[in-house]
Amino acid sequence: MGLYQEAAGIIQQVRDKRGTVKSLVLSHRRVKNTKQLYALVCETLKYSDVLDQVIDAVQLCKLEKTLQRRPLAQVVVYDLLIGKGLKSDGNLKAAVWKHKAALSAELARLKVRAKVASNEGLLPEHVRKEVPLPRYVRVNLLKTNVEDVIGHYESEGYTFDQCSNNYNSYEEYLPSVKSLMGKHFLKDFHLPDVLVFPPGKDFHQHPLYTDGSIILQDKASCIPAHILSPLPGSHVIDCCAAPGNKTSQLAAGMKNEGKLHAFDKDGARFKILKSMLAKAGVQCAHLHHQDFLKVSPLDKTYQDVEFVLVDPSCSGSGIVSRLNSITDKEDSTLTQRLGSLASFQASILKHALSFPNVRRVVYSTCSTHREENEEVVQRVLLETGGQFHLTRALPNWTHRGLGDFEFGHLCLRASAQQDYTNGFFVACLERCLGDKECLDCYHGDGDDKAQANQGNLNSMNTNVKRKQNPEEVVPHIYERNSDKKNCYQFSTKVVYNSGAMGELSTSKKSKKRRKLNDDCKKAEEKLQNSVFESKERNDSVPGSQNTFLLKSKKSCHKKRKRRKTKKPIV
């Protein structure tokens, strides 16, 4: 099958919502020049409205049997009138060549009617104003380091912006990205292993790319693995791993130490995953050609998994080059399709959270639709019964989630207009260690949270009634992030021999709401004294399944009120 037939087939599949342009092009291994195929498909989709008007005016599909398929006619006419000229010498070229004069005349008439001088002027305004994205290059730390890669490019005549190491704010950094031109490049503000080059730079044939030292990956796509950040030796799951960019990034962060389980059920994409990880030098990955949803969380193979990356299939509406505004135009099934995608995304996120020892799960999509993003997160948080909470992902990122969600400020969004990346969404969920009220955490709806935590409160009431031997108390102080907006300032955990753990936390909200009553103050002072008297003890803290809230300020306040009402009036 020739280039035009392959391109026409992909265009039809995109319109049938059977995949993104990128994924479909990568699956066509019979085409040697995938870059050429990708460009032909994207440009034909971009000009599809213009091409349809020209084809219909000439009645090309009726006159030529070989061009009765609309996508094929569009591809051939695009290359004849707008592209680089027909590359085929077969029947397709002969069929369209005899109509060249009529087709060219109709295209000229369209430009006269629209009062434009160029073909680009015929495109819709939102397509013409598409923001060209920088070329992001992630350094593969498994094979090299950032300094060596910078030096390599400098030896080729590129100029590195030394100021990129000293930007004080994201707002100060963005103008430098926008103004990148020629052979200038800089280091990314958020991701230390990512370099930024001007738009249009093609490094697919560069020796650093061919040997796996660099990976051409959009910045937004690098953020989820950066937020998950498993340490070397960790056990990690990448549940939708192909094509493998994020998987190789996780392996680099783990320094190839530990176990990285990578899943993908699609045969063609799984082959790409294997090839990509081999090229990147990944050695800690355990590849699984299967559906992640069919994996049992109780399987001993995954009993030590603490980190999961969930980057499921999505609409891809955030990918700038995917031309969603064109392919989704007047799509009456879009709402239904988003509903189906959201159901799948919620099910795979819930499944990831069901692994017994998982501590952190990062959920991401390359979609701009709320149905696939905030709504999925909200739904899963409510259904998991308060076991997990949202934490603020990448705090120094300014573009946050939708404001009409209570937890929107904890999520992360990216866009071409604001961040010079593809559109993206990221949420970070962590297991709750008791019923703690972090200043910048979200557990779900208040009523659901209260019900979900009732079991913990009952457990607390049972345990605090037990007689405790002071020698059985093993206090620990946890120094959390000093950023008051994102977490507790002070947290003291107490471990009893029975295996129960309590937590007494103090965090600043309004004075009226957060003021401790006298009883709570005394309890806290007593507990802190015991902490410092026993600070050299090193007993371990049990897992979160045995955690409970030792004494919340709210419960102290209620108990004090009850005592006051029962006190006889003198």
> Which positions are catalytic?
366
**DSSP assignment of 468-500:** --GGG-EEEEE---S-TTTS-SEEEEEE-TTS-
H or E stretch covering 459 = helix 446-464
Helices (H) then strands (E): counts for the chain: 23, 16
The rounded distance, in Å, linking the Cα atoms of 543 and 79 is 62
Identify the residue whose tokens are 């990148």.
Answer: 180
- Is 243 annotated in a binding site? The answer is yes
Phi, psi of 412 (to 5 degrees): -125, 135
H or E stretch covering 268 = helix 267-280
Q: Which 8-state DSSP code applies to residue 433? A: S
3-class DSSP state of 39: helix
- Is 324 annotated in a binding site? The answer is no
How many C-beta atoms lie closer than 10 Å to residue 478's C-beta? 14
Tell me the one-letter amino acid at 160: F
Task: Report yes or no: 543 and 431 within 8 Å, Cβ to Cβ.
Answer: no
Q: Which segments within 337-376 are labelled E, that is strand?
A: 360-365
How many C-beta atoms lie closer than 10 Å to residue 531's C-beta? 18
Task: Judge residue 562's burial from the number of C-beta atoms within 10 Å of its C-beta, 0-12 exposed, 13-18 middle, 19 or more buried.
Answer: exposed
Torsion over CA of 310, 315, 319 and 324, rounded to 10 degrees?
Answer: 180
- Is 124 annotated in a binding site? The answer is no
- Is 246 annotated in a binding site? The answer is yes
C-alpha distances in angstroms, 38 versus 19, 22, 221, 227, 423?
14, 7, 20, 31, 20
- Across the beta sheet with 501-506, what order do the strands follow? 474-478, 490-495, 501-506
Instruction: Name which of 281, 146, 140, 302 is nearest 222 in CA terms.
Output: 140
3-class DSSP state of 506: strand
Phi, psi of 452 (to 5 degrees): -65, -35
Task: Report yes or no: 279 and 210 within 8 Å, Cβ to Cβ.
Answer: no
How many C-beta atoms lie closer than 10 Å to residue 113's C-beta? 9
- Is 245 annotated in a binding site? The answer is yes
Phi, psi of 310 (to 5 degrees): -115, 105
What residues have CB less than 8 Å from 318, skipping those under 6 apart? 220, 365, 366, 367, 368, 414, 415, 422, 423, 424, 425
Task: Report yes or no: 197 and 180 within 8 Å, Cβ to Cβ.
Answer: yes
- Is 264 annotated in a binding site? The answer is yes
The rounded distance, in Å, linking the Cα atoms of 168 and 175 is 13
Using DSSP bridges, classify how beta strands 184-187 and 159-160 pair: parallel, antiparallel or unpaired: parallel
3-class DSSP state of 272: helix
- Is 483 annotated in a binding site? The answer is no
- Is 242 annotated in a binding site? The answer is yes
Task: Report yes or no: 61 and 87 within 8 Å, Cβ to Cβ.
Answer: no
Which residues define the annotated binding site?
240-246, 264, 291, 311
Which residues define the annotated binding site for S-adenosyl-L-methionine?
240-246, 264, 291, 311
